[in-house]
Amino acid sequence: MSSRRQSKSPAAIIDPPRYVQNERGETVEVIVSIEDYERYLRTLAKHADWETLPTYLQDAIDNLLAQEARTESGPSLPLQALLKKNGKGR
């Protein structure tokens, strides 16, 4: 019998969020785990129109991607060299 892994949606929530409500019972804040927040940012980066995102989300995505790039192994390559290699540079 083979075991099959079910793939999760890239935006699937790991931990249930906690809701903060004001005195009228209206939700004013949602608290999520860092893993869920990063998953949300990756989903936005992949699917959202960058120009319509608020600046704070663009900054959060930039920071997430920069952090991931810093943790990658292997040599870093200059952007111009990569663009030339792919025929898109000057």
Residue 89 domain-assigned (yes or no): no
Number of domains in the chain: 1
65, 22, 72: which is closest to 41 by C-alpha?
Answer: 65
Span 7-29, average pLDDT: 81
Say if CB 23 and CB 4 are below 8 A apart. Answer: no
Its domain, for residue 40, covers: 18-72
Residue 49 domain-assigned (yes or no): yes
Q: What is the predicted pLDDT for the residue at 89?
A: 60
Helices 34-47, 55-71: axis angle to 10 degrees equals: 100
Task: Tell how far CA 9 is from the center of its chain.
Answer: 13
Which residues sit opposite 20 in a β-bridge?
Answer: 29
Q: What is the predicted pLDDT for the residue at 41?
A: 94
Whole-prediction pTM: 0.61
Residue 39 domain-assigned (yes or no): yes
Task: Write out pLDDT tens, residues 59-83.
Answer: 999 999 999 888 887 777 788 888 8
Which residues sit opposite 18 in a β-bridge?
Answer: 31
Q: What is the spatial distance between Cα 9 and Cα 20, in angstroms, rounded to a whole number?
A: 26
